[in-house]
Chain A
Amino acid sequence: MRRIYIFILIAGLLSPAYGQDDLLDMLGDEPPSNEPVTSTFKSTRLINGHTIETRTQGVLEFIIGHRFGRLNEGGENLWGLDFAQIRLGLEYGVTDNLNIGIGRSGVDKTFDLFAKYKFLRQSNTVPVSAALFLSGARRADSFFENQVEGLGIPFEGKFRNAYTYQVLIARKISSALSLQVSPTIIHRNYVATSEEPNDLIALGMGGRYKITNRVTINAEYFPTFNQDSDNYKNAIAIGVDLETGGHVFQLHLTNAQRLQERGFIGETTGNFFDGDIHFGFNISRVFNVAVKENIPKG
């Protein structure tokens, strides 16, 4: 009989206590959520290239990209700051995963159009986020035209166009570190020299490291594989992102001055390690044009 009482006593001591923290423990057992990972990068651009990030539905983004001249131009040209090349861009979130954009760069008077579709989002069960990127760029200056006519060939408008196909694959490894690879094919309808293949193959790679909540350092490299030319170098870039509410400022140093894929991947001429470095920045401003109702009604 006594054993039974001891048993009851122990059972009583072990039975759930009724403190306040225990109530909280009762709430703590919901299953881990399988929410997609967000904020892999702060911007839709790492430095020169696109990231897997898309603007959400109804968001319009205005991006101004600047690349100054070369640092090794010396003091007379204020280390390149006297000459700036600019790309003006407008991008729009058609859906949360589909973005379209247009841009116009001063270099080569180039217009570009792109579409980016995020088809995979990193989560507990999916290791990476991934997006398809397609763009067309049309060079509107008369360089190709003059060259072709010099050869006695009739010029056609399509000679101006080049198309970029990319798969962007990124993983947010920790809240601070994100890495991306971007296999790339650029088809150029017309190239100026025989050393440049019409179909250029490249592999973009890069990442960001978050120093504080609002500041990251970024690096990016775009080696090409089938362009044996002394003229062209692989694009290298290092940079810093500064975020202030609706703006992101991206400051960088890069050997590429062109601001769309054909240009910076395929036509970069500067040697980073010889000081052919362009200081540049991207400024992005976001506008909520057609905001969908997101807040649950109580």
Chain B
Amino acid sequence: MKLFISILLLIPAIGFAQKFKSDSSYVRFFSEAPLENIEAVNIKGASIIDLSNGNFAFSVPVNQFRFDKSLMEEHFNENYLETEKFPKTTFTGSFKPADLVNGEQTVSAIGEFNLHGQTKPVNIEGTVIKDNGQVTIKAVFDIKLVDYKIKIPKAVFYNIAEEVEVTVYFEYKEL
């Protein structure tokens, strides 16, 4: 009995081996507006996925989004995302279904998305490809700027879409 309890207590340590950490990432947002499309890409994000329970988190340093127009990048950080105040955007949650099988599958990531200091419950549909030692995640979803209190001044309203499309792509290696 005592032996059983000891083994039970040691299980968490075994669970550790189920964690995968991203070694390659690509996060893009795209805003489509009549006057100007705005695109930025960030390759400095990081993510961890725990296959033992389907838990999943990512964190993206906001000041690492790269734009073609440098002034846009500056305004993005200074005026819209207020990067000095809110340096990271994060997601924490878990997959449904939690047991991932080998091959490609559609999953939902249910959890909390934090952007611009605001946390919202989200349900993001994405694709997971699991191939033994390697996992790849891809998701495309829309976020409404107003949900995250990202203010667009009226004078430039037509320049920026109220909803932007976010693409998230991570490749993982076993930790």
Residues of A within 8 A of B (CB): 5, 8-9, 11-12, 15-21, 23-24, 26-28, 30, 33, 35, 38-39, 56, 59, 96, 175, 213-214, 243-246, 286, 288, 291-296, 298
Contact = CB atoms under 8 A, between A and B. Distances in A.
Contact of B78 (A17, A39, A96, A245): A39
Contacts of A96: 70
A298 B169 contact: yes
Contacts, number: 112
B68 interface: yes
A54 to B, nearest CB: 10
Q: How large is the interface on B (under 10, 10 to 19, 20 to 34, 35 or more residues)?
A: 35 or more
B75 A23 contact: no
B56 A298 contact: no
A213 B82 contact: yes
Given A39-B77, A213-B79, A244 B57 contact: no
A150 to B, nearest CB: 50
Contacts of B77: 38-39
Nearest to B88: A28
Contacts of B74: 38-39
B66 interface: yes
A18 B92 CA distance: 12
Nearest to B49: A23
Contacts of B5: 5
A12 B70 contact: no
A166 to B, nearest CB: 24
Contacts of B59: 24, 27-28
B46 interface: yes
B52 A18 contact: yes
A8 B16 CA distance: 17
Given A9-B9, A28-B59, A213-B82, 7 more contacts: A12-B12, A18-B53, A26-B21, A27-B58, A294-B70, A295-B67, A296-B66
B56 A20 contact: yes
Nearest to A175: B84
A59 B156 contact: no
Nearest to B52: A18
